[in-house]
Structure 1
Amino acid sequence: MLVGNKTDLSDKRQVSTEEGERKAKELNVMFIETSAKAGYNVKQLFRRVAAALPGMESPENKKIDTVDLRPNPPPQDAPQDQEGGGCIC
């Protein structure tokens, strides 16, 4: 991904949009212009990168798998700490 940042500073531009697109095509990568300060295209940048990851598809085409990260309760016979709470690991 080739990113042109600071689009909010158009009066100080050093690389044109056309130059950026041409270089991205030459490198066979995606191109996007952003402004982190103004929040312009930042979410779109990350969405495009994520969508391009191997095995990723758009949410409309694939159910998103989730993982339950809540800890399992300790077994009834698990050792207790001195205050009577959970694991003493």
Structure 2
Amino acid sequence: MSAGGDFGNPLRKFKLVFLGEQSVGKTSLITRFMYDSFDNTYQATIGIDFLSKTMYLEDRTIRLQLWDTAGQERFRSLIPSYIRDSAAAVVVYDITSTVAIMGHSRSRTVQELDS
């Protein structure tokens, strides 16, 4: 196995950016995926957190780069630079909020992706 991947295949990297309003569970989803755990306490993400997980998929090694963005309004202007060159954007919203469910397609987060 080479340092870059299995059997001479290059290591594929995929940037996934998690977007959504404050306190909807972006960090909780990432923590569950990375560590198979759940923390009941809330601590706001400041700016952005970055985690990386190497996975083995069939005959390839892939690296998922998970970008956990802050949901506070004051960090919203940073979102376009975070989503640049991303393979996917995961939009997270609170399903217990009628406003979030009815308006998710018009939300500021989705509008950021359109631009």
Q: Do the two structures share a fold, i.e. TM-score over 0.5?
A: no
Task: Return the structure number with greater relative CO, CA threshold 8 A, min gap 6.
Answer: 2
Q: Provide TM-score, normalisation by structure 1.
A: 0.31
Tell me which protein shows more strand as a share of its residues.
2
